[in-house]
Copies of this chain bind each other. A is one copy, B any other.
Amino acid sequence: MTTPASQHSKISSDSALTAESLAQDHLLLQQQICFPLYAVSNLVVKSYGPLLKPLGLTYPQYLVMLLLWQHQSLAVGELGKQLHLDSGTLTPLLKRMENNGLIKRQRSPADERRVLVSLTTAGMELRQAATAVPQAMACKLAADPQWLLQLQDNLNLLIGRLSQDDAGSGN
């Protein structure tokens, strides 16, 4: 730790590294694959903001609603498996949604450990207003459907690999 790292021969006024070491340096923001992923994700969540605010939803809450509009009732763990979120994220999120009157949370009678999440009438009725959201977002992305489908496939591939890698996380 005491060895002064490669600060020999700083050439330009701006670079801390030599031309050689920069030539194929993997420690460059421009060379990172994960950074654009991270940046796009943040931008996407931000883009959803104005679309979801009138519905009283955040983006993760919208994802929960998507699942509940499909499935009458889901346990917290099932939501977490689908959304790749753990109970530390979901429990407070679901409590906020319950306080907002969108969902109900009740212990499963069959298995008292499980908490079943289902929609209230207000939650079901919100679906109508939400139908406009995917269109509006598609417009913001301004992308060819084919291109989006391929991107989606590629991302799902990565989800598969990273989820496997993540196997032993206590949910």
Q: Which residues of A pack against B, CB within 8 Å?
A: 1, 3-7, 13-17, 22, 26-29, 31-48, 59, 63, 66-72, 82-85, 119, 121, 124-128, 130-131, 133-135, 137, 140-143, 147-148, 151-152, 154-159, 161-163, 165-166
CB pair B29 A70 closer than 8 Å = yes
Main secondary structure of the interface of A (DSSP, over half): helix
Give me the 8 closest cross-chain CB pairs, A-B, nearest first.
A41-B41, A26-B134, A36-B155, A43-B162, A5-B125, A34-B44, A29-B66, A39-B84
A80 to chain B, nearest CB (A): 12
CB pair B40 A155 closer than 8 Å = yes
How many copies, total? Answer: 2
Chain B hits for A7, CB < 8 A: 124
CB pair B38 A59 closer than 8 Å = yes
CB pair B135 A158 closer than 8 Å = no
A134 CB contact (under 8 Å) in B32, B127, B128: B32
A5 to chain B, nearest CB (A): 5
A33 CB contact (under 8 Å) in B17, B82, B135, B148: B148
A17 CB contact (under 8 Å) in B14, B34, B70: B70
Task: Identify the closest chain B residue to A74 (Cβ).
Answer: B14
A124 CB contact (under 8 Å) in B16, B28, B124, B135: B16
